[in-house]
Structure 1
Amino acid sequence: MIKIDKKEDGFYQFILKSDNGNTLLKSVSFNTENEIDSTLKDIKTLKNANGKLFERRTNTDGKFLVELKNSKGKIIGSSGLYSSEAGMENGILNISNSLDIDFK
């Protein structure tokens, strides 16, 4: 599920949630809802992206996270932290399914 929020600073953000309501990913700020729509359409056209949409990272505490990129390689969203690499990979599958992307 994709939820679009208008933040207090006037910018917009999309939040990607799982079926059970857990937050999978929060986007960067966008100026308008139309920018979000355009970005999401761009991502959904990248079928079979071979994982190029996702940057896997580890923070200084050894926790794992995922950053979602658009077709130009710009980071447009970040996941929460995962305690294991397997959890992060499962998160990527959940994000992909929620966005209807086939990244393999």
Structure 2
Amino acid sequence: MFELKKSGDKFHFTLKAANGQVILSSQMYATKASAMNGIESVQKNCGKDESFEMKTAKNGKIHFNIKASNGQIIGSSQMYAAESGAKNGIESVRKNAPGASVKEVE
């Protein structure tokens, strides 16, 4: 499920797995409509290998970004201790995002 939240005058979303764990967090968007476009972009691009980019942070932890076809980052994962965790996160996005509902939360 995607959760769409308003923070101040901006919007952002998270993608959650069935167990409630956050898989992916978005950037901040100026409007609700642009955040909804971001959700649609995740759903559209999550099946493409080239949409995912794994990175290693300075502390050695690994995370991934999902990018739109224009190269802009749509969302980022949490930090994982190992590459295998990040790969599992990517698979979770692929499994959960396409048919996920959108819930607005306070």
In the TM superposition, what are the counterparts of 1:30-69 in structure 2 within 5 Å? 30-46=29-45, 48-49=47-48, 51-69=49-67
Q: TM-score, normalized by length of structure 2?
A: 0.84
For structure 2, which runs of at least 5 residues remain unmatched after alignment?
100-106
Q: TM-score, normalized by length of structure 1?
A: 0.85
> Considering only aligned residues, what root-mean-square deviation do their CA atoms show, in Å?
1.7
Greater strand share, 1 or 2? 2
1:63-94 per-position Cα deviation (integer Å, ceiling 9, x unaligned): 01011111211012111000111111000000
Runs of 4+ with deviation above 3 angstroms: 45-48
Higher RCO, Cα 8 Å, sep 6+: 2
The size of the alignment, in residue pairs, is 99
Task: Work out the CA distance in 2 between the residues paired with 1:32 and 1:79.
Answer: 22
Identity of aligned residues (%): 29
In the TM superposition, what are the counterparts of 1:74-93 in structure 2 within 5 Å? 74-93=72-91
For structure 1, which runs of at least 5 residues remain unmatched after alignment?
none
